[in-house]
């Protein structure tokens, strides 16, 4: 990726451009219906401050809530956040334990606030034996509380893997007895975790890493990708606004010509 794929105005300090405002973004063009974020860089943010990695995750909560606020200001209907991957179980046991408790307490702390704002909360991922029951319980409570909200759908990708999602869809195809001649993109798509959800228009990954890391592999086929050096705990709605302005500059061709 070239540096033009980075978020403009995202670097604090001398020479940084003015923060982008929601009104600028809305005046500039249409906003993506679905934005997905890889919230990366919490550990590095903490290490740079001499803090344990877990403090970085804790600091990421404010960034998450501010990104949700920003998305609401722009009228973004779908926001998907990568909170824990099927590969993140490989992290040190203490960190995994912390992340399970953190995600549970984050829901307990924030679900009423998100509900009041008209946000529907959903979870994409596997509900397998590794996810503690108390976390599943909190997830179910959050889903039930917010299920009728439609202002925005916030999907937390939790114990999520793009390959696992495709495997699960194929398992459903087989379980449904679909013959090989009837297997097409529609048949697979309709068996993904949330077939009602449009594919992401824009994916933002923070922390300077230029990878997809098993996020939404099927759904990202034609998404615009944007990478920023900002570490997740420093991410604020202005970075989202700047990312959307960059998105508005892109020409999407879906394999055709303009
Ligand atoms: C992918 O990178 C990134 C993620 C799966 C996001 C992980 C995010 C957290 C653990 C913190 C969540 C924070 C909040 C506020 C809920 P990777 O590190 O899994 O993959 P890589 O090894 O390819 O970089």
- Is 258 part of any domain? no
Evaluate if residue 15 carries a pLDDT over 50.
no
Instruction: Report whether pLDDT(13) > 80.
Output: no
Residue 56's alpha-carbon distances to 43, 44, 61, 95, 131, in angstroms, are 5, 8, 9, 11, 22
Is residue 37 over pLDDT 50?
Answer: yes
Residue 255 lies in a domain: no
- Taking only the tens place, the pLDDT of each residue in 240-256 is 999 999 999 999 999 99
Q: Would residue 40 show up in a list of annotated catalytic residues for this protein?
A: yes
- Number of domains, the chain: 1
Extract the tokens encoding 183. Answer: 């297997």
Asked whether residue 108 is assigned to any structural domain, the reply reads yes
Q: How far is the CA of 41 from the centre of ligand 1 (A)?
A: 8
Q: Could you say which of 40, 55, 201, 234 is catalytic?
A: 40
- Probe target for ligand 1 pocket from 40, 101, 231, with the most ligand atoms within 8 Å of CB: 40
For 132-176, the pLDDT digits (tens) are 999 999 999 999 999 999 999 999 999 999 999 999 999 999 999
Taking the mean position of all CA atoms in its chain, how far away is CA 144? 21
pLDDT for residue 16: 56
- Can you give the CATH number for the domain in which 142 is found? 3.40.1180.10
Domain enclosing residue 183, as ranges:
5-249
Confidence of residue 28 (pLDDT cuts 50, 70, 90): very high
Asked, for residue 19, whether it belongs to a domain, the answer is yes
Does ligand 1 come within 6 angstroms of the Cβ of 216? no
Q: State yes or no: is 28 an active-site residue.
A: no
Q: What is the pLDDT of residue 258?
A: 79
Secondary structure letter of residue 194 according to DSSP: -
> Taking the C-alpha atoms of 100, 86, 81 and 118 in order, what is their torsion angle to the nearest 10 degrees?
-60
Question: Measured from the CA of 156, which atom of ligand 1 is nearest?
Answer: 16
How remote is the CA of residue 84 from the centroid of ligand 1, in Å? Answer: 6
Within a domain: 254: no
Ligand 1 pocket check for 66: Cβ under 6 Å: no
Mutation test residue for ligand 1: of 36, 41, 42, the one with most atoms within 8 Å of CB:
42
From the list 5, 24, 55, 88, the catalytic residue is 88
Amino acid 98: pLDDT = 98
pLDDT tier at 10 (50, 70, 90 boundaries)?
very low
Sheet holding 34-38, edge to edge: 119-124, 152-160, 78-85, 34-38, 202-205, 224-227
| 185 assigned to some structural domain | yes
Kindly state whether residue 256 falls inside one of the protein's structural domains.
no
Is 212 a domain residue?
yes
């Amino acid at each position: 990726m070239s540096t033009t794929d980075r978020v403009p105005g995202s670097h604090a300090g001398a020479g940084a451009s003015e923060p982008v405002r929601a009104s600028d973004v809305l005046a500039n063009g249409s906003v993506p219906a679905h934005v997905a974020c890889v919230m990366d860089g919490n550990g590095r943010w903490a290490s740079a401050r001499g803090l344990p990695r877990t403090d970085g995750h804790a600091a990421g909560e404010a960034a998450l809530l501010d990104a949700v606020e920003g998305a609401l200001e722009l009228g973004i209907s779908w926001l998907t956040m990568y909170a824990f991957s099927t590969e993140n179980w490989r992290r040190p046991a203490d960190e995994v334990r912390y992340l399970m408790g953190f995600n549970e307490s984050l829901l307990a702390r924030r679900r009423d606030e998100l509900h009041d704002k008209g946000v529907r909360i959903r979870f994409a991922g596997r509900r397998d034996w590794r996810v503690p029951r108390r976390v599943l319980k909190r997830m179910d409570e959050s889903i039930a509380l917010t299920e009728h909200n439609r202002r925005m759908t916030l999907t937390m990708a939790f114990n999520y893997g793009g390959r696992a999602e495709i495997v699960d869809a194929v398992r459903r195809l087989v379980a449904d007895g679909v013959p090989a001649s009837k297997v097409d993109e529609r048949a697979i798509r309709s068996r993904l975790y949330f077939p009602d959800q449009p594919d992401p228009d824009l994916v933002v990954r923070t922390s300077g890493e230029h990878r997809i890391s098993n996020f939404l592999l099927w759904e990202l086929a034609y998404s615009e990708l944007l990478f920023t050096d900002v570490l997740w705990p420093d991410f604020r709605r202005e970075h989202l606004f700047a990312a959307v302005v960059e998105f508005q500059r892109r020409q999407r061709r879906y394999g055709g010509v303009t």
